Chain A
């Protein structure tokens, strides 16, 4: 158990507020609390999962089961910019494979890897429901569509 893992007062206040939105004693706040913990600690390490389990009065296994089920919960550290390129049908029909290959080449990493300077992590994902702008990707919170090599350059070169 890691004593250093603890919510800041601001996060603690958010945590308390989340609990009020669901019936008392239910496990329902777990997803919002895990989102909060990920914002706070960057990723959900085993120690963070233990901390959340203690806060929620749940077995660690219950927390781990949920963390491992959902793709947006990060089990390991990622780069500052988390690049998720959609590879579902509409994006494949419009050339996402070339985009993935180009980003991989440009950043010098394979899909699933992080650049040595910890700036970028590249992964491929299933449909992000923005097929009208295919091929597209999500970087952290934002969607970027109509991707071409030039547009990828413009987007990535502008991220500091």
Chain B
């Protein structure tokens, strides 16, 4: 069994409390950072660790930080993206609930590296309990000198504020989130300018995902070489990530594993294989936006580059397994309804296209398909991808393109015969 880093103490009673966190080595990474590293050295260390953004994009974290200007007339901000919303993903919920101090410590390290003194945690509105736990941890951290003025007596100041979202998937997108945090509807912004230069309140801003920040205390405590070494054989990957596994597996749940694990190992070794001894049919490997893989394609490693080479993506690490009795038309319809509901409406190809896709899939599912529907689906998706301000459009198009490409005969059957040919389509 691989070493657990983030989830090691999830089973410890009251793991969210400061006293328990300290007993397990908590805030030692921050202490070491403030005592032994200059901000630039922290950025270098994080670059060397190969840590990449675990929210979905997989962008190298240290490189992202280095885009923020050293000197700025305006205050710089850290925004913690805790707006977990990608279907199939639930790891940040666990981290917020079980290890809020790890997040606070990581946020403090990131802020020190970039010269930030004010940070906001944007947490999805439905996570009421998690927001309360985090707020409690922040108050403890202030009371014990891990937040506020002169942290650990080292002359570094940081304020951290919890900000609740209000139910909109688009606000997980970086610039949609910034708009929302500024009290507006979450319409993504055109880039450039990038948030590193013009972000929150028009100021230089770093945005990192919860899980990404939680890795920092460990990297600083144990070193970049150790972290990068956890992904042997993958030169641009480091550390572990928490895979959220759901769907037709025997043991749905979170599994923290090095990124070099294969999808087959996740499903069969860790998540107990497919329920009822059935065969696997398809898997979404990185949250709902990631192109689907067939059962024959699961020997791929789960690091960002290997998944990209397999024409899909690591995304948020949400693995959704579908068994042999799953109707792929119906599965895609469920996702299409989601994207149609969550499209923010700003860009025409996405606003109109996601609606059309959902309607066409709806009639295919309900026995009302028409010849040519498969082609139309593909054409609409092709006209969304690459034609929108934010990556939501791509995320909505990729499932359609990949489902149709890999399971074409099912779509054609629905269109022609106006029924489903998947045996015992009980779902």
| Cβ < 8 Å to A, chain B residues 166-197 | 166-169, 180-186
Residue contact A89 to B167, C-beta cutoff 8 Å: no
Give the interface segment out of B146-154, B226-234, B247-255, B305-313.
Answer: B247-255
Count residues on chain A whose CB falls below 8 Å from chain B CBs: 40
Q: Which residues does chain B contribute within 8 Å of A133, judged by CB atoms?
A: 252
Q: Which residues does chain A contribute within 8 Å of B125, judged by CB atoms?
A: 35, 70, 72
Give the interface segment out of A2-10, A109-117, A124-132, A147-155.
Answer: A124-132
8 closest Cβ contacts across the A-B interface? Answer: A30-B183, A131-B246, A70-B166, A27-B183, A71-B167, A72-B167, A69-B185, A127-B87
Given contacts A66-B183, A69-B168, 6 further A-B contacts (CB under 8 A): A32-B163, A66-B184, A70-B167, A92-B330, A128-B126, A138-B126
**Given known contacts A90-B88, A141-B129, is B246 in contact with A132 (CB within 8 Å)?**
yes
Check: A105 CB closer than 8 A to any chain B CB.
no
Sampled A-B contacts (15; CB under 8 Å): A26-B183, A62-B184, A72-B125, A89-B247, A89-B335, A92-B331, A93-B247, A93-B320, A94-B247, A126-B169, A129-B86, A131-B88, A131-B246, A132-B244, A132-B245
Check: A95 CB closer than 8 A to any chain B CB.
yes
In the complex, the chain B residue whose C-beta lies closest to that of A67 is: B166
In the complex, the chain A residue whose C-beta lies closest to that of B89 is: A129
A71 to chain B, nearest CB (A): 4
Residue contact A141 to B128, C-beta cutoff 8 Å: yes
Quick one: CB contact mask for A56-70 with B, threshold 8 Å, 1 for yes? Answer: 000000100110011
Residue contact A31 to B183, C-beta cutoff 8 Å: yes
A35's partner among B164, B181, B330 (CB-CB below 8 A) is B164
Check: A144 CB closer than 8 A to any chain B CB.
no
A88's partner among B87, B124, B128, B168 (CB-CB below 8 A) is B87
B275 to chain A, nearest CB (A): 9
Quick one: CB contact mask for A12-49 with B, threshold 8 Å, 1 for yes? Answer: 00000000010100111111101100000000000000
Quick one: CB contact mask for B327-340 with A, threshold 8 Å, 1 for yes? Answer: 00011001100100
Check: B90 CB closer than 8 A to any chain A CB.
yes
Q: Which residues does chain A contribute within 8 Å of B168, judged by CB atoms?
A: 69-71
| Cβ < 8 Å to B, chain A residues 59-113 | 62, 65-66, 69-73, 87-90, 92-95
Q: Which residues does chain B contribute within 8 Å of A122, judged by CB atoms?
A: none
Number of A-B contacts (CB under 8 A): 140
In the complex, the chain B residue whose C-beta lies closest to that of A84 is: B126
Residue contact B427 to A93, C-beta cutoff 8 Å: yes
A89's partner among B87, B126, B169, B342 (CB-CB below 8 A) is B87
Residue contact B183 to A132, C-beta cutoff 8 Å: no
A31's partner among B161, B163, B246, B342 (CB-CB below 8 A) is B163
Residue contact A31 to B338, C-beta cutoff 8 Å: no
Check: B218 CB closer than 8 A to any chain A CB.
no
Residue contact A130 to B90, C-beta cutoff 8 Å: yes
Interface residues of A (CB under 8 A from B): 21, 23, 26-32, 34-35, 62, 65-66, 69-73, 87-90, 92-95, 126-134, 138, 141-143
Residue contact A127 to B338, C-beta cutoff 8 Å: yes
Residue contact A93 to B322, C-beta cutoff 8 Å: yes
In the complex, the chain B residue whose C-beta lies closest to that of A63 is: B183
B181's partner among A28, A87, A90, A126 (CB-CB below 8 A) is A28
* Cα of A144 to Cα of B254 in the assembled complex, Å: 17
Residue contact B166 to A127, C-beta cutoff 8 Å: no
Check: B76 CB closer than 8 A to any chain A CB.
no
**Given known contacts A66-B184, A89-B335, is B248 in contact with A129 (CB within 8 Å)?**
no
Q: Which residues does chain A contribute within 8 Å of B331, judged by CB atoms?
A: 89, 92-93
B405 to chain A, nearest CB (A): 19
* Cα of A3 to Cα of B330 in the assembled complex, Å: 51
In the complex, the chain B residue whose C-beta lies closest to that of A141 is: B128
* Cα of A58 to Cα of B408 in the assembled complex, Å: 52
Check: B264 CB closer than 8 A to any chain A CB.
no
Check: B318 CB closer than 8 A to any chain A CB.
yes
* Cα of A90 to Cα of B86 in the assembled complex, Å: 12
Residue contact A92 to B246, C-beta cutoff 8 Å: no
In the complex, the chain A residue whose C-beta lies closest to that of B84 is: A129
**Given known contacts A70-B125, A72-B125, A87-B334, is B166 in contact with A130 (CB within 8 Å)?**
no
In the complex, the chain B residue whose C-beta lies closest to that of A58 is: B183
**Given known contacts A127-B338, A132-B252, is B186 in contact with A69 (CB within 8 Å)?**
yes
Check: B341 CB closer than 8 A to any chain A CB.
yes
A25 to chain B, nearest CB (A): 11
Check: B59 CB closer than 8 A to any chain A CB.
no
Q: Which residues does chain B contribute within 8 Å of A29, judged by CB atoms?
A: 183
Residue contact B87 to A31, C-beta cutoff 8 Å: no
Check: B201 CB closer than 8 A to any chain A CB.
yes
**Given known contacts A73-B166, A89-B331, is B182 in contact with A28 (CB within 8 Å)?**
yes
| Cβ < 8 Å to A, chain B residues 72-117 | 84-90, 92-93
A49 to chain B, nearest CB (A): 14
* Cα of A147 to Cα of B72 in the assembled complex, Å: 52
Q: Which residues does chain B contribute within 8 Å of A129, judged by CB atoms?
A: 84-87, 89-90, 92-93, 124, 126
